[in-house]
Amino acid sequence: MTSPAATSTPSTAPEHRAAVLAGLAGLPFAKGHGTGNDFVLVADGAGERVLGEAEAAALCDRHLGLGADGLIRAIRSAELPEGRAVLAEEPAAEWFMDYRNADGSLSEMCGNGVRVFVAFLIDQGLVQLAPGEVLAIGTRAGVKRVERRGEGFAVDMGPWEFIFPAEAQRDAADSQVTAVGLDVPRPALSVSMGNPHTVVALAEAAELTGLGLHTAPGVEPLPPHGTNVEFVVPAEPLVAGGTGTITMRVHERGVGETQSCGTGACAAAVAIRHWAGPGATDRWSVHVPGGTVGVTFVPGPEGREHVELAGPAAIVAHGTLG
Ligand SMILES: N[C@@H](CCC[C@H](N)C(=O)O)C(=O)O
């Protein structure tokens, strides 16, 4: 499995962006989103395109490129080393979601992205998926099973993990987070959904709206590969059998503030349920600026608890790089 994000940042100079985009002339693309988390999508089944860090950053540039939170390439799993590792686990995972953040860095997983990815495969006629059917998708966080459900998709995101398990169990918080708009550092809990997250609970909606997320929050200690930071306000009921409600804003690693983060919503539900203690509900609605996603804790086939993420996915445009 590839470890995350390259650490160097591609040049943001306009002439560099223009040169990279000129090299992509003629490239067909689509634009899609899941609850406002938006992506440029490219079908490159045989892996013939050069779509690395510089290309992703240029395409995702909101002023000089197409503009998106990330680039998703649909490539056959057999064409990538990470994909071949996935095929050894699940031979049915023909398609691999090759995801990069807006700054060009790799991430292991994108929860909104994988729903939009499947919508794109259907849109391109690369797969057919009837309501209730499940498609196995290769990702850098392993195989994800995506079910077509209602107006969108439900994804088995696999098991969650604490990033600092000893501290999380002992103190219910493992780090401190600072951000523009917060008077003092706040305790936080770091959760892996394949990619890293740090969740901070705030007391009220006014604190959430008052945050300045144009500046990256500070996290101490920082998880080894950086982190996405979710600020959350939970609301009642949190009790078993009910649906817990969370309002969330997020600052994403490699992007900045986004309208939504699927893996972040899952991490938020993990942290809030942990803080609520025994008897808390397994079903959550997470409200983000771009809409609402559902998070449910379910038993996994191997005996571990899995997280299911459900939400919409839309393909809104098709085009060709000029
Ligand atoms: N920025 C994230 C990757 C993208 C997460 C995504 N928005 C989601 O919906 O899960 C990272 O670097 O881990």
Residue 262 marked as a ligand binder: yes
CATH topology for 14-158+313-320?
Diaminopimelate Epimerase; Chain A, domain 1 (3.10.310)
User: What does the pLDDT read at residue 102?
Assistant: 98
User: What does the pLDDT read at residue 236?
Assistant: 77
CA distance 308 to 54: 33
User: What does the pLDDT read at residue 5?
Assistant: 45
CB-based contacts of 160-169 (< 8 A; 24+ apart in sequence): 160/191, 160/192, 160/193, 160/266, 160/267, 160/270, 160/305, 160/307, 161/191, 161/192, 162/189, 162/190, 162/191, 162/192, 163/190, 163/191, 163/192, 163/196, 163/223, 164/190, 164/221, 164/223, 168/274
CA distance 166 to 44: 43
Cα–ligand 1 centroid distance for 61 (angstroms): 17
User: What does the pLDDT read at residue 2?
Assistant: 35
CA distance 123 to 53: 26
Residue 145 marked as a ligand binder: no
- Give the distance, in angstroms, between the CA of residue 54 and the centroid of all CA atoms in the same chain: 20
User: What does the pLDDT read at residue 4?
Assistant: 45
Beta strands in 105-159 (DSSP E): 134-139, 142-149, 152-156
Supply the residues annotated as catalytic.
Answer: 110, 261
Identify the residue whose C-alpha is closest to ligand 1 atom 4.
Answer: 110
CA distance 121 to 63: 27
210's tokens: 């008052």
Pocket probe for ligand 1: among 3, 153, 260, 261, the residue whose CB has the most ligand atoms within 8 Å is 261
Task: Tell me the β-bridge partners of 134.
Answer: 147
pLDDT (tens, 9 = 90+) of the chain, 322 residues, equals 334 444 456 788 999 999 999 999 999 999 999 999 999 999 999 999 999 999 999 999 999 999 999 999 999 999 999 999 999 999 999 999 999 999 999 999 999 999 999 999 999 999 999 999 999 999 999 999 999 999 899 999 999 999 999 988 888 899 999 999 999 999 999 999 999 999 999 999 999 999 999 999 999 999 999 999 999 999 877 888 899 999 999 999 999 999 999 999 999 999 999 999 999 999 999 999 999 999 999 999 999 999 999 999 999 999 999 9
14 to each of 6, 11, 63, 64, 214, how far by Cα in Å?
Answer: 21, 9, 9, 7, 21
All structural domains of the chain with their residue ranges: 14-158+313-320, 161-299
Judge whether 14-158+313-320 and 161-299 match in fold. Answer: yes
Residues with CB under 6 A from ligand 1: 37, 101, 107, 110-113, 195, 228, 252-255, 258, 261-263
Quick one: which of 81, 80, 153 has its CA closest to 120?
153
Cα–ligand 1 centroid distance for 250 (angstroms): 10
CATH topology for 161-299?
Diaminopimelate Epimerase; Chain A, domain 1 (3.10.310)
Residue 218 marked as a ligand binder: no
Cα–ligand 1 centroid distance for 267 (angstroms): 11
User: What does the pLDDT read at residue 169?
Assistant: 84
SS3 of residue 87 by DSSP:
helix
Q: Which atom of ligand 1 is nearest to the CA of 252?
A: 1
ipTM of the complex: 0.99
Residue 148 marked as a ligand binder: no
Instruction: Calculate the CA dihedral of residues 140, 274, 254, 73 and round it to 10 degrees.
Output: 30
User: What does the pLDDT read at residue 7?
Assistant: 46
Question: pTM of the predicted model, to two decimals?
Answer: 0.96
SS3 of residue 270 by DSSP:
helix
User: What does the pLDDT read at residue 9?
Assistant: 64
For residues 74-103, one letter each, b for 16 or more C-beta atoms within 10 angstroms of the residue's C-beta and e for the rest, the string is bbbbeebebbeebbeebeebbbbbbbbbbb
The terminus-to-terminus CA distance of the chain in angstroms comes to 35
Pocket probe for ligand 1: among 110, 155, 286, the residue whose CB has the most ligand atoms within 8 Å is 110
CB atoms near residue 262 (< 10 Å) = 28
Pocket probe for ligand 1: among 1, 107, 140, the residue whose CB has the most ligand atoms within 8 Å is 107
Residue 37 marked as a ligand binder: yes
User: What does the pLDDT read at residue 131?
Assistant: 97
Cα–ligand 1 centroid distance for 17 (angstroms): 23
Cα–ligand 1 centroid distance for 107 (angstroms): 7
Which strand (E) or helix (H) includes residue 245?
strand 244-252
Residue partners of 141: CB distance under 8 A and separation at least 6: 1, 108, 109, 158, 193, 194, 195
Residues in the chain: 322
